[in-house]
Amino acid sequence: MSLANKYVIITGATSGIGKEAAMALARENAHIVLPVRNLEKGEKVKKEIGQHYGNPFIYIMECDLASFDSIRSFAREYKNRFGKLNILINNAGIWETQRKETKDGIEKNFGVNHLAPFLLTNLLLDELKAVDFARIINISSEAHRHSKFDFDDPEGKKKFSSFKSYGQSKLANILFTRYLSNLVRDDGITVNCLHPGVVATNLFDKMNPFLKSVFSFFMVSPRKGAETTIYLATSPEIKGQTGEYFVKRKIKRPSSAALDDEAAKKLWEISCDYTGL
Ligand SMILES: NC(=O)c1ccc[n+]([C@@H]2O[C@H](COP(=O)([O-])OP(=O)(O)OC[C@H]3O[C@@H](n4cnc5c(N)ncnc54)[C@H](OP(=O)(O)O)[C@@H]3O)[C@@H](O)[C@H]2O)c1
């Protein structure tokens, strides 16, 4: 599918799955905006993509997803420069194994993996509504299956566990996807999420080397890991599908905690409080 004259934002495209997705969408001639926290790294990726596909419409813009101020100023600048958005891919993610905090003092897995895409997406809804058919794609994970959302301690202040914290942030991606899909159903916007597979990327860099080596038996390449993202961004079949969780390009039932509508509503409300929306 040609994406000529379509505007795409992909977060986390300086490496791994996001970079491969950006490459594939550049080949379809999309205008691609890459929000990055490290401009130098971003410019290198832009050059690489340009060399491969000769697409002159790659834009690097500063955005640190660990800072609400930075997300807000990125969204403001995007609105002024481009005014419309066809595809938003919330791909960036981290797996912090120690409890760390964002610039706003929020536990980092929760802040970067859930609150950042929550805020960014909400700030860009008018631009998504400004086109005929828009898509939002959130990158979740099968790791969501190990947790229920802990509303008593969402930031692991009482007790921090790396697996619980990461898994809960990926559960939040699905709850957010499902809740938002209902809100924007009549605006011509689909919202879906996915698990990319276990992919050989920098995500596991902070993990204990033994566990990393166990995971590495199952790992696929970033190119393979980007396939479902590219499918959701380009396939005409997606037009009528929204609020779904995809694995290997197919709809899959997520955990029952991810299908809990009460939890989705509660998460939406606390996310509004956290981000000041
Ligand atoms: N790899 C897997 O097996 C796997 C499995 C399931 C789900 N996922 C999900 O897939 C997504 C992509 O991850 P990946 O595996 O491709 O990992 P990755 O190679 O580590 O890429 C993560 C990307 O996120 C960016 N990022 C991190 N913190 C940021 C911040 N504060 N502000 C802006 N950008 C930030 C990184 O930028 P820098 O270059 O500046 O660090 C990088 O571009 C994540 O949501 C992850 O949870 C991955």
Domain ranges of the chain: 7-275
Q: Using an 8 Å Cβ cutoff, are 238 and 192 in contact?
A: yes
Q: Which two tokens stand for residue 114?
A: 């859930």
Q: Using an 8 Å Cβ cutoff, are 222 and 17 in contact?
A: yes
Q: What is the pLDDT of residue 184?
A: 97
Phi-psi region of 54 (alpha: psi -120 to 50; beta: other; left: phi over 0): left
Phi first, then psi: what are they for 263, rounded to 5°? -65, -40
Confidence class for position 242, pLDDT limits 50, 70, 90: very high
Q: What is the pLDDT of residue 210?
A: 87
Q: In terms of CATH, what superfamily is 7-275? A: NAD(P)-binding Rossmann-like Domain (3.40.50.720)
- The Cα–Cα gap between 175 and 139 comes to 12
Distance 186 CA to ligand 1 centre (A): 31
- In this predicted structure, the answer to whether residue 214 has a pLDDT above a threshold of 80 is yes
- The Cα–Cα gap between 117 and 91 comes to 9
Shortest-distance atom of ligand 1 to CA 18: 16
Mean pLDDT score, 122-134: 97
Mean pLDDT score, 78-88: 98
Percent of the chain residues topping a pLDDT of 90? 89
Mean pLDDT score, 171-183: 98
By most ligand atoms within 8 Å of CB, the mutation choice from 9, 20, 23, 37 for ligand 1 is 37
pLDDT in tens, 24-80: 999 999 999 999 999 999 999 999 998 888 899 999 999 999 999 999 999 999 999
Q: What is the pLDDT of residue 137?
A: 98
Q: Using an 8 Å Cβ cutoff, are 20 and 222 in contact?
A: yes
Q: Which residue, judged by its Cα, is nearest atom 1 of ligand 1?
A: 199
As annotated, the active-site residues are: 166
Distance 102 CA to ligand 1 centre (A): 15
Q: Which residue, judged by its Cα, is nearest atom 34 of ligand 1?
A: 12
Confidence class for position 97, pLDDT limits 50, 70, 90: very high
Q: Write down the pTM of the prediction.
A: 0.98
* Residues contacting ligand 1 via CB (< 6 Å): 12-18, 37-38, 41, 64-66, 91-94, 112, 139, 141, 195-196, 198-199, 201-203
Distance 67 CA to ligand 1 centre (A): 16
CB 74: neighbour CB atoms within 10 A? 24
Q: What is the pLDDT of residue 218?
A: 87
- The Cα–Cα gap between 196 and 141 comes to 7
Mean pLDDT score, 206-235: 92
- In this predicted structure, the answer to whether residue 1 has a pLDDT above a threshold of 80 is no
Q: What is the pLDDT of residue 205?
A: 86
Q: Which residue, judged by its Cα, is nearest atom 2 of ligand 1?
A: 199
